[in-house]
Every structure is written in structure tokens, then in C-alpha cells.
């Protein structure tokens, strides 16, 4: 099934829209395996190694490219269904980040969704998947991307419960109750909600204590609006405006009602992605060998113009690590959680490679 998606993506030249390039496939003992271009490191590793929130300029660059990828998939009628930091990989070790979406092992055609199947990993799973709203759409990918954007913004998972009940309770705590029609349309909703004597939906298993994310700057996060108090560049008013724009984008990406959730095209048109603020590290003369402003802009599938990131001077992400003026310290609990997530990610990757027979090769000139 995965190979059939790669065949469709190859025919549509998906690599132009920030999706991993497939060079072909080969037969092996249990089927066919794709031969993919060689990429660098995944976003999960970047977040793990830095263990800090990302700069707005880095978040913007990644979000713009992933919105282009989702727009492309939407117009092909493909739902990725497994968008997570492990499946977003950098092309090289340079900043601004150039990233690509990988792994179509869980992908499906929009018209093929006819039952309440459980897809996506829990921390990035959309409410309509938990509730069993059928049929779900590519809007579940937008929810996952919103969770990733929040993790880049916070330096930590937004939702991290140990069970489905706890995950749904955290979603409700941070984002509020879903609209009544979303609950009523879900075939699994009564597992999580009950109607009280006043005909109001309430959680069956609310959190025993408030789920609070302690941020490195000393702030505590309970809702998306709390994020507006976080400042990395204390004396930069432009950064403050863009931070608020970023949070407003997060709100519409994490809309409980999938029919009202923002679309990839609307993300590309959002003010946050149109902002042109550059961090101090980018305020240097443009290198004529890396300045892409004179290159022809490529059209999106819908005809929208896809522009390159605003900072065209590229620097190594390891040579120039991100530094923050924060006073908080990492808790031992968070360190253990990060280590646990890293080991799960590592062994999951080894298992996937050995079971799927995926071969990765160096990119070759087209």
C-alpha cells in the first residue's frame, strides 16, 4: 500500500512540495520496498538535542514548508495520518531549515475512510479520531501539525497522557469542551463524555489534578493564551507581535470542530507566515551563492506562489546552536521523559526499517 502512494507521489513530482523523493522500489521477501532520498535528521532529534523552545523564525520556516506539503496532499486527496516530529526531516544541517515530510505507511485516500479506525499516535491524535467521527478528513493532519508547532513553541509535548481518557481530558482542559454536535456525532464519544441532568455534556473521567506544563522561563501553561506571556527576546516588540500571531495560528490549527479547522491554504495566507522579522543572526549581507531571491518561484498545486524563507543566509544548525535568555532549569522528570521518548523513537525507527525493508539512498541529480 505504501508503495502505491509513492508511485502517485512520484508521478505528481511531490519532491517539489517538501515531500521525500522516491527513486523507485524493489521486491523483497514480503512485498515491495521504496528507495528514498537520503535526508539528514528528524525534528524529534532536533527538539531532543536542543531541549529548548525554537525561535519563531525556525518555527515559521518549518510550518510554511509543511503547510505546502499538506496543501499538495489535500489536492491529491491523500491523508497522511501519521504526522509527528519523527516524520519531518531536515534536508541538511543548515539554517533556515529545509524540511520534508516522510513515511506514508499509514496514508489513505480521503474517499477510503469509511470506518472509525484509530490512526495517529496519541500525542498528535485529533479529537475526531478519538471520538469516532466518521468519516474524518485531511483535517486530522492539520491537528497533528498544530501539536508539533506547539511542541516547537514550548519545547515540550502539549498532550502527554498515559491513556486515551487522560489525553482527552488534557485536550478539554487546555482547549475547552468540544461543541455538542462533535460529541454527538462520535461513535466512541460516550466512552469519554456523559450528559448530566441539565442535558450538558461533561467529562466522565476529568483529571484528578490540573495538568500544568512548567516552562523554562518560569511561566506555567494551562491554555494557549498563557503562551502570550512567554518572551525570548525581551526588548523586541516585533517579536512580541509575531509571538501573538503564532499563538492565534495555533488556536485555529487546534480547533476542536474539524469542519472549522484552518486549511493548508489558509495557513499559508496567515499573517504569522507572512511576517518578515529576521533574528539577529540573519542580519548579514546576502551571499550571492545562497540568495534565492532571483530564482523562479514555483507554483503550488492550487496556483498560489510558494516563496522561499525570508532568511536566505544559511548557517549550520550545530555550528550556531540556539541560545535563550531564560533562567529556568530542566527538571529531572522532564529529563527522564525526554530520554524515554528518545529510546522509544530510536527502537521504533529500527523496527520500522527492519520490518518494512525501506532503503534510503543518496539524492541523485534529476
Q: Which of 82, 92, 141, 226 is catalytic?
A: 82
DSSP-based three-state secondary structure for 28:
strand
Angle between helices 43-50 and 139-154 (to 10 degrees): 20
Give CB contacts under 8 A, 24+ apart, made by 136-139: 136/79, 136/258, 137/79, 137/110, 137/113, 137/258, 138/70, 138/73, 138/74, 138/78, 138/79, 138/80, 138/110, 139/258, 139/259, 139/261, 139/263
Residue 303 grid coordinates: 496556483
132 conformational bin, left if phi > 0, alpha if psi -120 to 50, beta if neither:
left
Q: Which of 313, 316, 275 is nearest to 63 (CA)?
A: 275
Half-sphere exposure of 190 (CA within 13 A, CB side): 2
Question: Is residue 82 among the annotated active site residues?
Answer: yes
Residue 67 grid coordinates: 503547510
The length of the chain, given as a count of residues: 366
Residue 207 grid coordinates: 483529571
CB 174, CB 195: distance < 8 Å: no
CA-to-CA distance for 330 and 75, rounded, in angstroms? Answer: 42
CA-to-CA distance for 88 and 349, rounded, in angstroms? Answer: 13
CA-to-CA distance for 6 and 15, rounded, in angstroms? Answer: 11
- 130-155 per-residue burial string, b: 16 or more CB within 10 A, e: under 16: bbbbeebbbbbbbbbbbbbbbbbbbb
- Residues annotated as catalytic are 82
Amino acid at each position: 500500500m505504501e508503495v502505491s502512494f509513492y508511485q502517485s507521489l512520484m508521478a505528481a513530482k511531490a519532491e517539489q512540495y517538501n515531500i521525500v523523493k522516491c527513486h523507485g522500489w524493489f521486491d523483497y521477501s514480503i512485498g515491495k520496498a521504496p528507495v528514498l532520498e537520503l535526508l539528514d535528521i528528524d525534528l524529534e532529534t532536533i527538539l531532543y538535542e536542543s531541549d529548548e523552545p525554537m525561535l519563531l523564525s525556525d518555527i515559521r520556516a518549518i510550518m510554511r514548508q509543511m503547510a505546502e506539503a499538506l496543501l499538495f496532499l489535500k489536492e491529491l486527496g491523500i491523508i497522511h495520518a501519521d504526522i509527528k516530529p519523527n516524520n519531518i526531516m531536515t534536508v541538511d544541517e543548515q539554517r533556515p531549515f529545509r524540511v520534508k515530510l516522510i513515511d506514508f505507511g499509514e496514508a489513505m485516500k480521503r474517499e477510503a475512510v469509511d470506518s472509525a479506525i484509530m490512526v495517529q499516535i496519541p500525542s498528535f491524535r485529533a479529537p475526531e479520531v478519538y471520538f469516532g467521527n466518521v468519516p474524518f478528513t485531511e483535517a486530522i493532519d492539520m491537528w497533528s501539525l498544530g501539536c508539533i508547532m506547539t511542541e516547537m513553541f514550548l519545547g515540550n509535548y502539549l498532550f502527554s497522557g498515559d491513556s486515551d481518557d487522560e489525553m482527552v481530558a488534557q485536550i478539554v482542559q487546555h482547549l475547552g469542551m468540544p461543541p455538542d454536535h462533535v460529541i454527538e456525532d462520535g461513535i466512541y464519544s460516550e466512552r469519554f463524555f456523559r450528559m448530566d441532568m441539565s442535558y450538558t455534556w461533561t467529562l466522565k473521567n476529568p483529571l484528578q489534578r490540573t495538568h500544568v506544563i512548567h516552562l523554562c522561563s518560569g511561566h506555567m501553561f494551562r491554555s494557549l493564551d498563557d503562551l502570550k506571556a512567554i518572551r525570548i527576546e525581551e526588548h523586541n516588540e516585533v517579536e512580541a507581535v509575531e509571538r501573538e500571531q503564532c499563538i492565534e495560528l495555533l488556536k485555529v490549527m487546534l480547533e476542536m470542530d474539524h469542519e472549522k479547522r484552518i486549511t493548508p491554504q489558509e495557513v499559508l495566507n496567515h499573517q504569522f507566515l507572512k511576517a518578515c522579522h529576521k533574528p539577529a543572526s540573519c542580519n548579514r549581507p546576502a551571499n550571492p551563492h545562497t540568495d534565492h531571491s532571483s530564482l523562479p518561484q514555483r507554483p503550488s498545486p492550487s496556483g498560489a506562489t510558494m516563496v522561499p524563507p525570508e532568511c536566505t543566509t544559511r548557517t549550520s544548525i550545530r555550528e550556531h546552536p540556539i541560545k535563550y535568555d531564560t533562567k529556568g532549569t530542566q527538571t529531572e522528570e522532564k529529563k527522564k521523559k525526554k530520554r524515554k521518548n528518545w529510546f522509544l523513537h530510536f527502537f521504533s525507527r529500527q523496527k520500522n526499517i527492519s520490518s518494512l525493508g525501506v532503503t534510503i539512498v543518496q539524492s541523485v541529480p534529476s
